[in-house]
Amino acid sequence: MENKQELIQRLKEQIIKQLKLEDKKPEDIGDHDPLFVEGLGLDSIDALELIVLLQQEYNIKLKNAEEGQDVFRSIDTMADYILEHSAS
Amino acid sequence: MYIQSAYAVSPQGSFSELLESPAQYRGDRLTCKEPDYSKYIDSKLIRRMSRIIKMGAAAAMECLQQANVTMPDAITTGTAYGCLADTDQFLTRMVEFKEELLSPTAFIQSTHNTVGAQIALMLKCHHYNNTYVHRGSSFEAALTDAIGLIGEGEAQTALVGGVDEIIEKSHAILSRFDLYKKDGDTANLIGDPEKGTMAGEGAAFFLLNSNREAGCLAKLDAFQNWYKPKVPAATLVEDFLKRHEAPAGSIDLVITGANGDARYDGVYEALKQSVLNAIPAITYKQFCGEYPTSAAFALWMAAMIVSTGKVPGAAALAAPKRVLVFNNYKQLYPSLYLLSAC
C-alpha cells in the first residue's frame, strides 16, 4: 500500500474525476478542508458518488450511513479510513 | 396565442449565422454548436449536467431572458430519446460492474424528464411541469399541452421545448437501420436522389403567451398533428387551412421537413401539386439534420422569419408575413404549424 501522502494525492485526483470538478486541481483541495457545504461544497448526491468511489477503487464498503459523516469530513479522514480498512 | 420569444441550440450558431453563412456539414450527422453555458448555468450545476441537459437548460434560459420572464406558468418538454448520454453511462456500468457500483448521478439524470425538471429547479418553479415522450410527435405533444393550458386559462405563459441529442451508441444503432447517408453533404442534402438523410440534434424552447406582449416574435395561428393519417398530406393541408380560415393565398412561405432521403421526399413533392403549388417553399433539415423533435427547430426558424422578415437561403423573397410549416417525420407523424407576424 502506498504511503498516506501518495494516497491523499491519488484520492484528490479520483474525486475530481468522479465528481467532475473540472475547475479544480489537486492542489486546490486542502488535506483538511471540509468536503461538504463549505470547502469543496459537495452535496448529498456527491456523498453517494464517494461511496461508489470507495467501493470501486478500494473495495471498501461503508458499514452504515452514519459512518459517512466522519469518513467524508475531509480528504485526510478519507485517507485514514482507507488505510485502516485496507490493512484489515 | 403568441410566441413571445424563442431560442434554439442547434447545429447553426444563431439565426444571423443561418442567414449569412449557414454552417455546412459533411458525413452522416450534424452536431450542435454549443453556447457558453456559464452565461446561463451556475458552475456548480454544470459539472453534473450531460450535454442534452445543458443544451436544453441554456435554450430555455435564453428564451426566458429574451422575454424578460422569470417564472413561466407551465413548462412542457418533448423528447423522443431523452438523456441518452446518462442512460448509456448508467446501463454500461450496470453491465460492466454486474449491477453494482452504479453512479447515482447518471441514474438520476437518465430519465427523460430531466431537462424539464432541471429548468424548473434552476428557476425554483413549482408550477405545472410535464415531459412528453412520443417518438416523432414528442414536441407536438408538449405544444398541444401548453396550448391547452393557455386556452383553458390555466396558464398565461408556458415554456415549451423540444430536445434530442446524438450520442455515439445511439447513432451507431440507428445507422444500422440504413437511415443515414455515409457521405452526406448539407450543401446538397435536399433533393439528393439516394436513400438516407443526415442525423441531427438540437434543443429549441419557446415562451408562449396568451397576450401579445411588446417584442413578441409571432402569432401562432394554428397547429395540428396526426399519427398515421389515412388521407394524403395534401388533403391534411387543405382541411387544416379550411378549418382555420386561412386561404392558401394568405400564406407567403412554406417550410417543409424534406430531409434528402429519396424514399420519403415524395410526400413533400406531392405538396407542390396541392393548394400550396404557387407558394415559395424552403426546407430546414439541411440546417439541423433529421431527428424526432426537429419540428421545434422549424418552428424557431419560422418564428424568426416572420419576426425579422428574412428567409435563410432565399434573400430575394419579400418579407413573409405568414408562414406554414409542414413536417412528416418518417411519414408517420405529420404536423402543421401556421404562424403570422405580430
The mean predicted confidence, pLDDT, of chain B is: 96
Q: What is the ipTM of this complex?
A: 0.81
| Contact in structure between B200 and B289 (CB atoms under 8 Å) | yes
Spatial distance between the Cα atoms of B119 and B116, rounded to a whole number of angstroms = 5
Cα B135 to Cα B259: distance, rounded to the nearest angstrom: 17
Pick the closest to residue B161 from B143, B176, B178 (CA basis). Answer: B143
Whether the CB of A48 is below 8 Å from some CB of chain B: the reply is yes
Q: Does A30 touch chain B (CB under 8 A)?
A: no
Per DSSP (E only), the strands in B165-302 are: 184-185, 202-209, 218-225, 253-256, 281-283
Contacts A–B by Cβ distance under 8 A: 23
Q: Which residues contact B125 (CB under 8 A, 6 or more apart)?
A: B71, B72, B75, B119
Tens-place pLDDT, residues B124-136: 999 999 999 999 9
Residue A20: which of B47, B97, B100 has the nearest Cβ?
B47
Residues of B with CB under 8 A from a CB of A: 43-44, 47-48, 97, 100-105, 108
- Where do the structural domains in chain A lie, given as residue ranges? 4-87
| Residue B102 to residue A52, Cβ atoms within 8 A | yes
Taking contacts as CB-CB distances below 8 angstroms, the residues of chain A near B43 are: 23
Cell of B230: 389515412
A23 contacts on B by Cβ (under 8 Å)? 43
Please give, rounded to a whole number of angstroms, the shortest distance from the CA of A23 to a CA of chain B.
9
Closest CA to B120 of B61, B65, B163: B61
> Which has the closest alpha carbon to A68: A87, A29, A86, A42?
A42
Are β-strands B202-209 and B2-9 bridged in parallel, bridged antiparallel, or unpaired? antiparallel
pLDDT tens digits, residue range B137-185? 999 999 999 999 999 999 999 999 999 999 999 999 999 999 999 999 9
> Which residue is closest to A59 within chain B, CA to CA?
B101
Instruction: Extract the C-alpha cell encoding B103.
Output: 453512479
CB contact under 8 A, B104 and A20: no
Core vs surface per residue B119-143: b (16+ CB within 10 A) or e: bbebbebebbbbbbbbebbbbbbbb
Domains and CATH numbers, chain B: 2-209 (3.40.47.10), 218-340 (3.40.47.10)
- Print pLDDT tens along chain B (342 aa): 999 999 999 999 999 999 999 999 999 999 999 999 999 999 888 999 999 999 999 999 999 999 999 999 999 999 999 999 999 999 999 999 888 888 899 999 999 999 999 999 999 999 999 999 999 999 999 999 999 999 999 999 999 999 999 999 999 999 999 999 999 999 999 999 999 999 999 999 999 999 999 999 999 999 999 999 999 999 999 999 999 999 999 999 999 999 999 998 888 988 888 899 999 999 999 999 999 999 999 999 999 999 999 999 998 899 999 999 999 999 999 999 999 999
CATH number belonging to the domain at A4-87, selected among 3.90.1300.10, 3.40.50.300, 3.40.430.10, 1.10.1200.10: 1.10.1200.10
